[in-house]
Structure 1
Amino acid sequence: MKKLLKAIFLILASVSVYSQEEYSEQAKYRFAKKVFEKEYLETVFENFSGKIVVENENTIKFDEKTLTLNVKEYREIFTSGLFYPNLIIGNHTVDIKTKEELEKMTTNEIVFYNMTRTDSVRIGNMQELVLLNPNYQTKRFLIWIMRPGRANAQEWYFELQNKKANKKTKLSDFIKNAKLTYSKSGTIII
């Protein structure tokens, strides 16, 4: 009887784990699928035309704006200028305060200053949304954007297209000939 109960328990436990993994995968795609189905409008974006300086493995400067990455596999998307901070925070800049200037500010002024800063962006998570890629010439991505002064990350969706790509095209070759064709902010991560 004990063996039978153990077998039943193991079967039920494995079904439960499978269901959780399946649900997690569905949840990952739920918002992205909605954005690409209901809000998608293909637009070809120009690559970044300013100066790109790779400061180190995780930091890239786009003129006066800094992008910090915690992703290595897709780094070339950013170093090639396909996706860059101005797409997220716009072309305007805010003067960077010195330490002395910050010390003279009230707490509320510091909070407001940090919320309006446009000098840096951090990408903490990036995933290719493989199930949403309509063909081999399109790759869709989800990234988490963190901005100074914000408590939570924000999802951001974008799409790259490479008209020359096929099933065997390597990621680095795909990126070299790709164009950014969609960019959209998504939900806030809580």
Structure 2
Amino acid sequence: MRFLLLILLPIFVIGQNENLNSGKYSLANRIFETKCEKNNYIKIPNSQIKVEKNRIIFNNVSTLEFDDNIDSNAKIVLANGFLNPYEINKSFSLRISAIEELPLLNPNFKIKRYKFWIFSIKENSDDVILANPVEYYFELQNINTDENSTFEEFISNAKLTCLVNRGIIL
């Protein structure tokens, strides 16, 4: 039994490794290297954000809806006003899906990079008007953080520095 475990364990570990040249990281890495132009985006103030079960309302005008099973850190990112639906695609209502951090692309502890998909929603309706989602990448930066900061501490003083539309997912 030990012999079998010694043979299978390295195969399992090797199979679980992700790297920058494969899967979701390959394209994302190229996009961050070539299309990510640093900007200072305006963060929506916390006083103008209302968080509900599976949506966030900004200024009582824009809404960002998300899946019920969203990761808690991703919900914190969305609830902190970095992503303004109108700035993303000139819509007041967006449905965000598949938001995730891309930890292998974080060059240091002061930067966190993410990807997400959006579905546009018709005004005053729950009908999705895009057959395929549009994929975006974004970067948050906190120059005042250190390697011992919690995620919440990082987010509290972070700024959106890059937002890139990758295109429609087919």
TM-score using structure 2 length: 0.77
Cα RMSD after superposing both structures: 2.8
Change (3 A) 1:31 1:187: farther
Following TM superposition, by how much is the alpha carbon of 1:164 offset from its aligned partner in structure 2, in angstroms?
Answer: 1.1
| One of 94, 115, 119 as aligned partner of 1:142 | 115
Give the structure with the higher percent helix. Answer: 1
| One of 48, 54, 60 as aligned partner of 1:51 | 48
Residue 86 of structure 1 is matched in structure 2 by 86
Aligned residues: 155
Structure 1: 5+ residue stretches without partners: 1-6, 91-117
Aligned to 2:50, the other structure's residue is in SS state strand
Following TM superposition, by how much is the alpha carbon of 1:156 offset from its aligned partner in structure 2, in angstroms?
Answer: 0.6
Change (3 A) 1:78 1:176: same
Aligned to 1:74, the other structure's residue is in SS state helix
Q: 2:33 matched to 1:28?
A: no
Change (3 A) 1:21 1:65: same
Structure 2: 5+ residue stretches without partners: 121-127
Alignment of 1:6-21 (within 5 A): 15=11, 21=16
Distance in 2 (CA, whole Å) between partners of 1:31 and 1:87 is: 23
Q: 2:150 matched to 1:179?
A: no
Are the counterparts in 1 of residues 55 and 63 from structure 2 also a CA contact under 8 Å? yes
Aligned to 1:134, the other structure's residue is in SS state coil
Deviating 4+ runs (over 4 angstroms)? 17-25
Change (3 A) 1:65 1:133: same
Are the counterparts in 2 of residues 155 and 187 from structure 1 also a CA contact under 8 Å? yes
Distance in 2 (CA, whole Å) between partners of 1:35 and 1:61 is: 29
Percentage of pairs with the same residue = 32
Aligned to 1:149, the other structure's residue is in SS state coil
TM-score using structure 1 length: 0.70
Are the counterparts in 2 of residues 78 and 84 from structure 1 also a CA contact under 8 Å? no
